[in-house]
Structure 1
């Protein structure tokens, strides 16, 4: 993964007051209104946490142990909240669309490709930590 490109593109779109991630949730809810009820506390706290998580992932791209551990924990938490595997694709789609919108006209195809790659990897690590169906039902 091209960490420099990811850092540069994130700097381009990282708006004050969690603006990127707040806008992301607006886009997500416009495109996928069925997920909005999962956010009963409102999006501001979630937007702040998401921004922090994005920055942390980019900062730790070369630390596979940190990524596996941190994203595994986050994945298990998301599984408990009812987040399904297809939702990760919707999140990636909406995040990249939001980044492209905010970064326009400076957003590039290369930036889209880099973020597609990293968001796919993040989703894979998170989903890999989901409990097995047998574990989830309490079966041995």
Structure 2
């Protein structure tokens, strides 16, 4: 995984007031309106929580145990809320779309590749936790 491209990409698009994650939710709800009712919290609060989660994952990228424990737990909670496995792809798609949009001409294909890989790993770990809910 290209750590530098991840860091550079986040630095480029991490807007004040959780602008990246706010824009992400706008794109998600525009493209996938059926998921919006699943979000009962104020969107600003939800956006702030998502930003914190993204930063935490990047901070622990080299700590496999932390990632596994925390992302499995997060996946279980999402499973309990009714999130389906298909929704993970939509989330990745919309996050990359928000990053590309905000990054504009400074966003690079290497950043897209790195973030797609990272989001894929996050999704896989969360889905492992999610599956634990589905099979119990």
Same fold? TM cut 0.5: yes
TM bracket, shorter-chain basis: over 0.9
1:112 aligns to 2:112 (yes or no): yes
Q: What is the alpha-carbon distance in structure 1 between the residues aligned to residue 56 and residue 73 of structure 2?
A: 14
Residues 132, 6 of structure 1: alpha-carbon distance in 2 compared, 3 angstrom cutoff: same
* Conservation of the 8 A alpha-carbon contact between 2:76 and 2:133: no
1:74 aligns with 2:74: yes
Deviations 1:38-95 (A, max 9, x none): 1122211110010000011111111100000110111111000111111000000000
Shift in alpha-carbon separation, 1:21–1:134, aligned structure 2, 3 A: closer
SS for the counterpart of 1:41 is: coil
Q: Secondary structure at the match of 1:129?
A: helix
Report the counterpart of residue 23 of structure 1 in structure 2: 23
Higher helix proportion (structure 1 or 2): 2
Within 2, Cα distance between the matches of 1:94 and 1:40? 19
Structure 2 Cα separation of the partners of residues 89 and 41 of structure 1: 22
Q: Which has the larger radius of gyration?
A: 1
CA RMSD after TM alignment = 1.0
Distance 1:91 1:70 in 2: 18
- The equivalences for 1:81-92 within 5 A come to 81-92=81-92
Structure 2: gaps spanning 5 or more residues: none
Q: 1:5 to 1:134 in 2, by over 3 A?
A: closer
Q: Please, what TM-score do these two structures have when normalized by structure 1?
A: 0.93
